[in-house]
Amino acid sequence: MTGDYRMKRAYSAASQADGKRVLVDRLWPRGVGREEAALDLWPIDVTPSNELRKWLHAHRDEYAEFEARYNAELGGDAQQAALAEVRALHTKHTVTLITAAKDVEHSHVPVLLKRLQEGS
């Protein structure tokens, strides 16, 4: 059985439909308690580096460049191991990628989701 991948903001209530909840932000979401977050995994290595995260905030209009840079980061050994860990959860569960990003569609999450779905 393979579940779905979903995206959800950290400020939305956890639900059973979320399956396994995976925080995909480098920083802990402000104002969210550990119990409230109900996380199953926090693989820091799948998150953009601090430098890239700051670059995106300064260059919002260059999303394609961000996507290329983030994909390059995801090619590292530690990142590949972390991606494999998330994919392993997905083999038996729905996996919900949790983020504090205000604009989820223009954040790192869609890039990460595509990479997870591609399997490489």
Please, what are the averages of pLDDT over each run of 10 residues along the chain (120 residues)? 84 95 96 94 96 93 95 95 95 95 92 87
pTM: 0.91
The closest alpha carbon to 112, from 75, 70, 78, belongs to 70
Amino acid 62: pLDDT = 95
Q: Which two tokens mark 15? A: 């639900």
Q: Give strand pairing partners of 6.
A: 96
Contact 108, 70 (CB under 8 A): yes
Domain that holds residue 58: 5-118
Domain count, the chain: 1
